[in-house]
Amino acid sequence: MLSMACANKTPTGPAAADIGGASSRAASSPTRGSAPRSLAPRPLTADGLIGTWGGDHVRATVGLASTLLVYDCANGSIDQPFTVDAEGRFVLTGTHAMESPGPIPVGDEPVRHPARYTGSTDGKVLTFTVTLTDSNQTFGPFTLALNAPGRVLRCL
């Protein structure tokens, strides 16, 4: 049955007479009150930023849905896609945790603080500052380069 319906290879939409009728005239002329409007710019998902970024005392691994950060004696995460505006600026949210030196007892997790990551990038260099939103404590600024391993000293 299906092969028979498509055998003549013609469209299955409205007849040509219906297309040229009043409905097409209405579609080609704007309706009253529908003037063009500008929309606010949307954040850009920074697919070109996905990868490893490194700098002095910091390394970031930017993924499609989140970013992991490792610092000297600390770690953090950006718990959303890494998005930037048209100028390369960003304000992203996540967490940040200070690490204690020495072995960590089993079941003892570092205290994670809500954090705001603010900065900018040109696609090759990324600069950011971390602000713990529960204490207003800041870390940084940090400067990283794309495809650089970073130099991070772990707590001993």
Q: What is the pLDDT of residues 46-57, one digit of tens each?
A: 567 899 999 999
**pLDDT for 19-65, tens place per residue?**
454 444 444 445 555 566 554 454 455 567 899 999 999 999 999 99
Distance spanning both ends of the chain, measured CA to CA: 74
- The residue whose two tokens read 């954090």 is 115
CA-based nearest residue to 83, from 142, 115, 41:
41
* Beta strands 58-62 and 44-45, pairing class: unpaired
Conformational region of residue 147, where left means phi above 0, alpha means psi within -120 to 50, and beta covers everything else: left
The residues near 51 (Cβ < 8 Å, ≥ 6 apart) are 61, 62, 146, 147
Percent of the chain with pLDDT over 70: 67
Rounded Cα–Cα distance for residues 139 and 102 (Å): 22
Distance CA 34, CA 141 (A): 47
What Cα–Cα distance (Å) separates residue 38 from each residue in 41, 42, 89? 9, 12, 21
